[in-house]
Amino acid sequence: MRDFSIEDLLKKIISKLLKKDRNTYAALMNKIDEILSVQMSIITKISMRLCSI
């Protein structure tokens, strides 16, 4: 089994589904990046709270 990230897997699947429709692909990529950055900010907030205890 080889290592791969969920993000890479999603991008591969989506790019195969949407090869013809570039605008939708770009919109989806932006949404995925947005979701990932929100997750990172939540993780950062939680870890900062834990450090301040």
Q: pLDDT at residue 39 above 80?
A: yes
Boundaries of domain holding 24: 6-52
| Counted domains in the chain | 1
Which amino acid, one-letter code, is at 52? S
User: Does residue 24 form part of some domain?
Assistant: yes
Average pLDDT, the chain: 80
User: Does residue 12 form part of some domain?
Assistant: yes
Query: What's the whole-number mean pLDDT along residues 11-37?
Result: 78
Predicted TM-score of the model (pTM): 0.44
User: Does residue 41 form part of some domain?
Assistant: yes
Q: pLDDT at residue 31 above 70?
A: yes
Q: pLDDT at residue 29 above 70?
A: yes
Alpha helices in the chain (DSSP H): 6-17, 22-52
Q: CB–CB of 33/11 below 8 Å?
A: no
User: Does residue 1 form part of some domain?
Assistant: no
User: Does residue 35 form part of some domain?
Assistant: yes
Cα–Cα distance between 51 and 23 in angstroms, integer?
42
